[in-house]
Amino acid sequence: MPSQLWGFFSECREMLNELPKISAKIIAKLAGKRKIKVGIFIALHTFGHDLKWNVHIHLSVTMGGLTEEQTWEKIRFSRRAIMPMWRYEVIKLLRKYAKAGKIQTSNNFLNQEYNKNWIVHLAKPTKSAWRTVSYLGRYLKRPPLPLSKLLHYDGKTVMFNFIDRNDNSQSKTTMDIDTFLDKFTQHIPDKGFRMIRYYGFLANAVRGKLLPIVYQLLNQSIKNQTVLEWRALIGKTFGFDPLECILCGCELAFIGAVFGMKHGELSEHHYELANAKLIVC
């Protein structure tokens, strides 16, 4: 959606709950015209690469679906069909909340945004389903700022790099800690809010019944799930060992926790820690 509309979803965060619903409804409606039920999962993101407020939806849909006769039929979706439907539903949502007095805007402003050509990006189908799911799993659940992007912290300022979408170049920025925390914490979802959602034959209410049919039609088997411990899971997902000391490489051991301290011993060594100069025996 146009950047001019992002602020309304910060002004009234309950509207964020509506975006996954209406995006799934659009895809389901298009598939429903051919009497097909597709599988959909959605991730709602509120952040851009530089931590700015940027509301957008990542939607993944199967390239086929179940027919009423429980056969599998291929389907593709068109940007030309999706864009006006998405634009209409978002503007309709904003009008509804403006009428209720929950956001401050005018019909003239919304009319101007409605007349714009909105950007709906459709990625090309991929050949490897498992590789796609693996990639999406890491990307969609990533935090607003991955640890790997942090470059420096000295107790007063934070430096991190990001991709500048204006020219897709690597950039870096530095901001004071208060600004950084304000930008970072604005993306923390409200209690109970689900960032990842499932619809169609992936919906929790029907997946137990329909997924076995899908697997059978596609001649696929259900892979045995391997339960990883938290240490291995973090290593596989983020590429580092959480129990390895960043200073000496030794394995960390939990010896206790201290609560209520505003400034611990580590706070005295921000600069040394950031530059990995502190030697611990």
17/133 same-domain check: yes
Within this chain, do residues 104 and 202 fall inside the same structural domain, yes or no? yes
Q: Please check whether residues 215 and 272 belong to one and the same domain.
A: no
Structural domain of 155:
145-186
Q: What share of the chain is helix, strand, coil (3-state, %, to 5)?
A: 40, 20, 40
pLDDT in tens, 79-128: 999 999 999 999 999 999 999 999 999 999 999 999 999 989 998 777 77
Beta bridge partners of 198: 41
Residues 12 and 102 in one domain: yes
Q: How many separate domains does the chain show?
A: 3
Q: Do both 130 and 159 map to the same domain? A: no
Same domain assignment for residues 102 and 213: yes
Same domain, 97 and 57: yes
Q: Comparing C-alpha atoms, which of 17, 18, 19, 30 is closest to residue 82? A: 30
Burial class (CB within 10 angstroms; exposed 0-12, middle 13-18, buried 19+) of 203 = middle
Number of residues that make up the chain: 281
Within the chain, strands assigned E span 36-47, 53-67, 72-74, 150-153, 157-164, 169-176, 196-200
Q: Could you tell me which residues come within 8 angstroms of residue 126 by beta carbon, excluding any fewer than 6 positions away?
A: 132
Neighbour-count burial for 228-237, b at 16+ CB within 10 Å, e otherwise: eeeeeeebee
Residues 84 and 125 in one domain: yes
* Global pTM value: 0.76
Whether residue 150 sits in one domain with residue 121: no
Residue 209 pLDDT greater than 50, yes or no: yes
- Is the pLDDT confidence value at 231 over 60? yes
Query: Looking at per-residue confidence, does 276 or 231 come out higher?
Result: 231
Reduced to 3 states (helix: H, G, I; strand: E, B; else coil), residue 230 is: helix
Q: Output the pLDDT for position 238.
A: 78
Reduced to 3 states, what is the DSSP secondary structure of residue 127? coil
User: In terms of domains, do 11 and 150 share one?
Assistant: no
